[in-house]
């Protein structure tokens, strides 16, 4: 990104790590704006997606699967429960913990969020033709697989 003083030094402009970070910042901004249209954040989407794909789970298991911190998980579950997108029920095997389940309204919301995110992905990848998009996704997937997906 150019500044009023001009572009950064060439050696910075071509560093893959710097370029990836700049692209990620832009992607995050676009995704946050898209999810904001529905009054949700990325944690909401991650939690609903995990419940829909893997079924009911404890808050602790959901936190491990999604990478959501315990304190953020409680707030996210509370928020989604208030909106009736998920339900909490005592675990029949361990009454000290709750099992979280997505509701029909949660599935409907997830479908809506999927559409918003698809549009956000299109906006982010707008300068790339379809073949380049597939190549980029393949390359990023290989990098994440090689270095370990510890933060998703």
- For 20-54, give the secondary structure using H, E and C: HHHHHHHHHHHHHHHHHCCCCCHHHHHHHHHHHHH
More confident residue, 144 or 94: 144
Domain of 114, CATH number, reads: 1.10.10.10
Q: Is 6 within the bounds of a domain?
A: no
How many domains is the chain built from?
1
pLDDT band at 150 (very low <50, low <70, confident <90, very high): low
Q: Is 116 within the bounds of a domain?
A: yes
Query: How many angstroms separate the first and last alpha carbons of the chain?
Result: 26
Domain range for 82 is: 28-147
pLDDT of residue 92: 85
Q: Is 11 within the bounds of a domain?
A: no
Q: What percent of the chain has pLDDT over 70?
A: 96
Q: Give 58-103 pLDDT, tens digit per residue.
A: 999 999 999 999 889 999 999 999 999 999 998 888 888 889 999 9
Cross-strand partners of 149: none
Tell me how far apart the alpha carbons of residues 48 and 43 are, in angstroms, rounded to a whole number: 9
Count CA atoms within 13 Å of residue 108 on its CB side: 6
Q: Is 141 within the bounds of a domain?
A: yes
Spatial contact of 106 and 47, defined as CB atoms under 8 Å apart: no
SS3 content of the chain, % helix, strand, coil (to 5): 65, 10, 25
Spatial contact of 69 and 45, defined as CB atoms under 8 Å apart: no
What mean pLDDT is reported for the chain? 93
Q: Is 9 within the bounds of a domain?
A: no
Q: Is 21 within the bounds of a domain?
A: no
What's the pTM value of the predicted model, to 2 decimals?
A: 0.86
Spatial contact of 100 and 88, defined as CB atoms under 8 Å apart: yes
pLDDT of residue 96: 82
Q: Is 55 within the bounds of a domain?
A: yes
pLDDT of residue 94: 83
Tell me how far apart the alpha carbons of residues 120 and 12 are, in angstroms, rounded to a whole number: 27
pLDDT of residue 88: 93
Burial 13-36 (b: 16+ CB within 10 A, else e): eeeeeeeeeeeeeeeeebbeebbe
Q: Is 4 within the bounds of a domain?
A: no
Tell me how far apart the alpha carbons of residues 1 and 3 are, in angstroms, rounded to a whole number: 7
Q: Give 4-26 pLDDT, tens digit per residue.
A: 888 889 889 889 999 999 999 99
């Amino acid at each position: 990104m150019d500044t009023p003083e001009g572009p950064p030094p060439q050696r910075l402009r071509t560093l893959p790590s710097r370029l990836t970070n700049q692209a990620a910042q832009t992607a995050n901004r676009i995704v946050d704006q898209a999810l904001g249209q529905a009054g949700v954040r990325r944690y909401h989407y991650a939690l609903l997606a995990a419940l829909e794909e893997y079924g009911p789970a404890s808050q602790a298991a959901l936190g491990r699967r999604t990478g959501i911190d315990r304190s953020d998980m409680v707030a996210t579950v509370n928020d989604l429960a208030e909106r009736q997108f998920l339900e909490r029920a005592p675990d029949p095997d361990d009454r000290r913990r709750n099992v979280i389940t997505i509701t029909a309204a949660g599935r409907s919301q997830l479908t809506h969020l999927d559409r918003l995110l698809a549009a956000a992905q299109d906006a982010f990848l707008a300068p790339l033709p379809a073949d380049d998009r597939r190549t980029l996704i393949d390359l990023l997937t290989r990098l994440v697989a090689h270095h370990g997906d510890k933060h998703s």
